[in-house]
Amino acid sequence: MIRAIVTDIEGTTSDIQFVHTVLFPYARQHLAAFVRENEADAGVAAALNAVREESGSAQASLDELITTLIGYIDQDRKSPGLKALQGMIWRAGYLEGQFTGHLYPDVLPALQRWQQQGLGLYVYSSGSIAAQKLLFGYSDEGDLTSLFSGYFDTGVGAKRETQSYRNIAEKIGLAPDAILFLSDIHQELDAAAQAGWHTVQLIRDAADNVSRHHQVNDFSQIKPESI
């Protein structure tokens, strides 16, 4: 019996286009000024050091790091240091009302239904936990953070690695076959299934003909009580 649902964000609850044409360009535009103004902040310094380590340039200057980070944004690299900085940069955009977190219209009714059924709801995204809370806290549908019991980012491991899903199950405190993972990316679903989780793939735009996972087009088609 399913007792918890863990959902991806980009391509699952929210449009990839929102992430790639609103969030990423905003972070790209404000990155240099943000890190120059905030390099003494402990969180910013930790993220910059993580990028130094990831890029193999322990002595990289701030200008070099900015160039590296812009390259990471353009490659959509799931760099934990970049993801931490993006979350910090996006905060101002949400607070100033420059954008709200995109949600497909089928998402909120389904989350509310599942919560009423007593299911635990969780998020697992490559975006930092702070960025996840911003997206759902300043969403198109208002503040949805109270719907979720927890958030996971790549601090538990990368999304295509099976051990990440074992780590999440342990933190949630449920057996793997009591958890359903929702994602648009079949390699992420493969890793979750390998850990013993149930899986459903969201096909929001392009078809995926090589996936072996149950596919739906929106959240209204997901019936955890029937799994």
Ligand X SMILES: CSCCC(=O)C(=O)COP(=O)(O)O
Among 6, 8, 107, 191, binds ligand X (CB under 6 A): 8
How many residues touch Mg ion under the rule CB under 5 A: the total is 4
**Residue 169 or 188: which CB sits closer to Mg ion?**
188
The CB-nearest residue to ligand X is: 127
8 is a contact residue toward Mg ion (CB under 5 A) = yes
CA 36/CA 138 separation, integer angstroms: 26
- To ligand X, the closest distance from the beta carbon of 13 in angstroms equals 8
84 is a contact residue toward ligand X (CB under 6 A) = no
Q: Are 169 and 125 in contact (CB under 8 A)?
A: no
Residues 19-48 that bind ligand X (CB under 6 A): 19, 23
CA 104/CA 182 separation, integer angstroms: 14
Binding site partner of 144, from ligand X, Mg ion, none, Cβ cut-off 5-8 A by kind: none
Report the candidate in 4, 22, 3, 2 with the shortest Cα–Cα distance to residue 131.
22
- To Mg ion, the closest distance from the beta carbon of 11 in angstroms equals 4
Residue range at the interface with ligand X (CB under 6 A); choices 3-11, 32-40, 41-49, 174-182:
3-11
153 is a contact residue toward Mg ion (CB under 5 A) = no
| Residues making contact with Mg ion (CB under 5 A) | 8, 10-11, 184
- Binding residues for ligand X (CB under 6 A): 8-10, 19, 23, 78, 83, 86, 125-127, 131-132, 135, 159
